Amino acid sequence: MINKPNLLLDSRLAAAASLVRDGAVVADVGTDHGYLPIALLRERKISFAAASDLRRGPLRCAMTNAQKYGVQDSIRFYCTDGLEGIPLAALRVTDIVICGMGGQLISRILSECSYTQNGQIQLILQPMSAVEELRTYLAENGFAIREERIACSKNKLYQCIAARFDGASHFYTPAQLLLGKQILQRGAADPLFAPLLQKYIQKTQREFAGKSRGGDDTTKSQTLLTALIQIAKKEGIDYACTGIF
């Protein structure tokens, strides 16, 4: 391995990397420039990686970066959609990382890969949007959420989810689907919880107001908004209220 400084990840990718198990074989889907597997290999946290991306340009960049940091012999690259075409079983992949995509796209990728339905395989997911849709997919398709973390990068908040298949159905309240059961359990003890909660209160307020103006059914958004405000009060977190409650 080339004697270069280890690659520093931004807070978003670092949160995902922190959930990868020691000694893992990682499949990094949507690897972009390959930073996550390269950093993990440089730290000797993982033994091998498969890196995939749908776009050839970023994948070529990732290959160049792997050579730059001297880990090219420990990564295989795949230009493919999601997990399609990656020999997960042959490579003995243990941890699958999918970051930087919408929750619905991540759900689609998981639904198309039966390899994920193995209790020994860990999924590390960081949706850029539709986090509640992703948690709903996991809950309804036999995946247990084992860890959840918040990250902040470039003034944007992200949630990282670690899950494994257990074959059981799991129930979450609307607030838990949005914020994460484990994140809610930690509450204000996590310094990023308050801004995350405030973000979703404001978003739900806008949705409620929009539906009210349009004459649409506001029951769902009103129920969620009430639950979020109750959480804020319990945790002693300031929130901007529309005046309706």
Res 239: pLDDT: 83
**What is the arrangement of strands in the sheet containing 156-165, beginning at the earlier edge strand?**
75-79, 46-53, 24-29, 95-102, 122-129, 156-165, 143-153
Q: What is the 3-state secondary structure (H, E, C) of the chain?
A: CCCCCCCCCCHHHHHHHHCCCCCEEEEEECCCCCHHHHHHHHCCCEEEEEEEECCHHHHHHHHHHHHHCCCHHHEEEEECCCCCCCCHHHHCCCEEEEEEEEHHHHHHHHHCCHHHCCCCCEEEEEEEECHHHHHHHHHHCCEEEEEEEEEEECCEEEEEEEEEECCCCCCCCHHHHHHCHHHHHHHHHCCCHHHHHHHHHHHHHHHHHHHHHHCCCCHHHHHHHHHHHHHHHHHCCCCCCCCCC
Contacts of 7 (CB under 8 A, 6+ apart): 35, 38, 39, 42, 69
Rounded to whole angstroms, the Cα distance separating 48 from 71 reads 9
b/e burial code for range 25-53 (CB count within 10 A of at least 16 → b): bbbbbbbbbbbbbbbbbbeebbebbbbbb
Confidence of residue 4 (pLDDT cuts 50, 70, 90): low
- Average of pLDDT values for 25-32? 97
pLDDT tens by residue, 62-82: 999 999 999 999 999 999 999
Q: Is the pLDDT of residue 17 over 70?
A: yes
Q: Is the pLDDT of residue 5 over 70?
A: no
Q: Is the pLDDT of residue 245 over 80?
A: no
Dihedral of alpha carbons 60, 61, 67, 71, sign? negative
Contacts of 102 (CB under 8 A, 6+ apart): 127, 128, 129, 130
What the chain holds in terms of domains, given with CATH numbers, is: 11-171 (3.40.50.150), 172-245 (no CATH)
Res 232: pLDDT: 97
Res 7: pLDDT: 87
Whose tokens are 């995350």? That residue is 196
Share of the chain above pLDDT 90, in %: 93
pLDDT tens by residue, 29-52: 999 999 999 999 999 999 999 999
pLDDT tens by residue, 190-232: 999 999 999 999 999 999 999 989 999 999 999 999 999 999 9
Count the residues in the chain: 245
Res 86: pLDDT: 97
Res 220: pLDDT: 93
Mean pLDDT of the chain, nearest integer: 94
| pTM as predicted | 0.93
Rounded to whole angstroms, the Cα distance separating 63 from 72 reads 7
pLDDT tens by residue, 89-140: 999 999 999 999 999 999 999 999 999 999 999 999 999 999 999 999 999 9
Res 1: pLDDT: 52
Res 139: pLDDT: 97
